[in-house]
Structure formats: C-alpha cells, structure tokens
Structure 1
C-alpha cells in the first residue's frame, strides 16, 4: 500500500492557521510515504511568506515535493515578476521549473504550470510547454510498470465541470492526452480550491486528474481541505478531508481502478 498526502494552496499570508496546524499534526502522527504540495504556498511570494512556508515544510515528514503556483511569483515587484518570477522561490524553497521523486514504488514528475507574465490579461492562468511534457514523460518512462506514476502541477490541465473557477491552461488538453498515452496514473493539481477526481477522456481512461482543496482562508464554497491518497495494485483511493473548525472529517472519497 502506497500512501501520499496532497496539500495545496496554503497561501502563507492568508493561511488557515488552525487547519494548517491540524493537518500537519495528522501527517506527523501517521507519516505518508510521500507528501506532495501542488503550488500556491504563498499569498504574494513575499520573502517572509516564503520563509514561513519553508519553516512549515521542514516540520513535515520527508520525503516531500513541492511545485510552485501562480501566487508564488512576486505580486507587487513587477520587474522581478516579469524577468525572474521564481527566483525567490528557488532561493528559499527549491527548484521551480521541474522537480522529481523516485523510490521503490512511486515516480513523480513535478512541472511548473505557472508563469510570471504571459500574452493574456489574466496571468494567473496556466501554461504547459511541449518540452515540459516530453521531459516528464521521459523521466516517468524510466520507472518500472509497477510504479505509481504521477505528474504534479498547480493548474488542472482540463477543466473541472461545475468548478468554482477555471485554469484555462494553454497546452493543457494536449498535455493531458500525452500523459494518458504515456500511461501516467495520476495528474495532481490545486488552484481551484476544490477537491475532485475524474478520468481523462484519452487513452484507456485510466489516467486520472486529482484536484486538491486549499488550506487557506481563501475558500471557494468548500472548507479548507487536503487529500490523502492510497494506492495498491488494484485501485487508487482518494479521501478529501475538510476542516470542520475543530477537526478534519471525510468530505468525499473516490476509488479509481488502476490499469493492469
């Protein structure tokens, strides 16, 4: 059995402190095999926010992998945002453009779908380049067929029907198709502040998009939450745990068949 904790959109500066503390205590008490943080660890990518996020991450059981989100590029420092959007993140947190984890059971390719600036008015939306997809697929192809193969991004590559907001990822549909054809098991994301699980409509239908809620006060109709993921040879099971104000409770669960 493989156990993964997925946390996202903590937004230090706007974090839900009781929820963050309770989630941290749960993870510390029963450490997963891996902790994945799928972006937006800060509110405005201010140095103090990034340092608070790093201090929190250091309390989590290792190994962990974090990929940045659109809020992790400076919001107010415009020159830095345009020309070096993730320099603060890289200095304080770690690699911004790609991350990787490989152990005996899990292979994860982290991809930065956020951009400091882009050729559209809403810079919060996502992008994924063909070169990023090729590099991720190449890395995951090096894992054995028995590995749980995961791509971690911030923006959902395809839209969640009825979701509270859109990601509108340039290149997202093509990337979802490529990951399906490469037999990736899971594509984990954040951004919309709502948990979900759905299959991509490509390949054999066994590549799943998994969305995680927020651990901030920036809720969008669903309380602060995070995901616990368990996988064996037969299925992947996702439990979205939401904050009641005093404890985390199961909000929704999914059981997804794995390809053989």
Structure 2
C-alpha cells in the first residue's frame, strides 16, 4: 500500500465582503484619523507661538513621524541595529500625538490655560527632535540576511570492475604457450566527493568520452535534475577524470541528436 502525504489543515478564506471592507477600510480610517488629528495639532502649534502657514507643519510632523517610525520598527528584524530606536520613536510619536489632542481639547473647552511655559517649551522641541530622530533612522543601515549555504553532498564510493586480461591467441601451439597471466588485483574503490559523478561514470565504459548532453541526460535520469554545462564539465567530469586520468584521453563521443531530451 502506497504512502499518502497527510493533509495539512488550512484556514478558510474570509468572505468577499470582509476582505473588501478590510482592504477599503484601512485607507479610509487612515485618512479620517489624519483629518481629525490635524486641527488639534495645529492649535497646539498656534499656542506655542507659530504663525500661519508654519503652524500647519505640526500635523504633518507628528503624523508622518509616527507612521515612519512605526513602519521602520515593524520591518527591521529582531535584534537589528536601529529597531529599538524606531520602536521607542514610534511610541514617543504616539504619545506626542495623543498629548496634542488632549491639550488642544482641554484648552478649547476652557479646562486649561494654553499660556504656560512648560507647554510652549515642550511643543517648541517637537520639530527638531523629530528631524534628528528621522535622520538617525535614515543613517542606520538595514542588515541583509546572507543566503544559507547549500550543504555539501555526501561522498559516494563507487567500486570499479577489474580490467579484463588480454585474450590468449586461439589454437596456440603447446610448445609456445605461455603461462596464464596472473589475475589483476581489483582496483581500489573510488570515493567521489560529488555523488552525481556515480551517474556519469558508466558513460565512459563505452570507450568514448561522453558529451555534455549525454552527461546531462544521465543526471536527469538519475534524478539529479537539470545541471548547468559549467558544472557538468568543470565539476563532475573534472572529478571523474582526476581519479582516472586515462579517461580524459578517450576519443570524444558524438553529441546527442537534436530532439532528444538533453
């Protein structure tokens, strides 16, 4: 009985109206919150002494700063340089935005006097502090993850058949018959560092040096997939002929005919 791969549970897809509401609702909520926050941040800038049109820069400073710091904090990997600073900056920006709304509404409703030194001083420090932190984030490099190195293939040991002794001449006279040639010792087993060499080595047994297309077809048949020409000639063929240098002197075989699977 064949083995069946177990099915992994999948999360059912959300209904189309839920996906539509999520996709369209995010930009709508973002625009609405920005518009609702701008008057309070504008009034706080006016309280601190900025005149028009400079007071309109306060909403953009706080809102853009909060968004940039939040994106940087979310996109940088854990432990990367600048991630903690971006996270702290995002939290600080949210606190500033919240404080600006609370102060503006308290002043407008008469619960607070806007002409206070500490309020003016803190508000005046917001633009240069935002600029300094954004420049710090821009100057902090984002680390790039190096691709994982491909594990080296395990060596493969191939036992070659002993070379056949030359045939004796037929019906040689008994007087001139020589003693039988001693049996040749079995050659030592060849250990290939690249296991794909074992699929290509039998092609040399035909007495010719196999072509690149023939070696590629043998690799595909053996289940190694499609291998590039430079790897076939510069790695696999080179290792085979390094172990058996006489194979490099064999006459070249004819390339595979067009239309065959390369």
- Please indicate, yes or no, whether the TM-score normalized by the shorter chain is above 0.5: no
What is the TM-score with the length of structure 2 in the denominator? 0.17
Bigger Rg over Cα: 2
Compare the two structures and name the one with the higher strand fraction. 1
Compare the two structures and name the one with the higher helix fraction. 2
What is the TM-score with the length of structure 1 in the denominator? 0.17
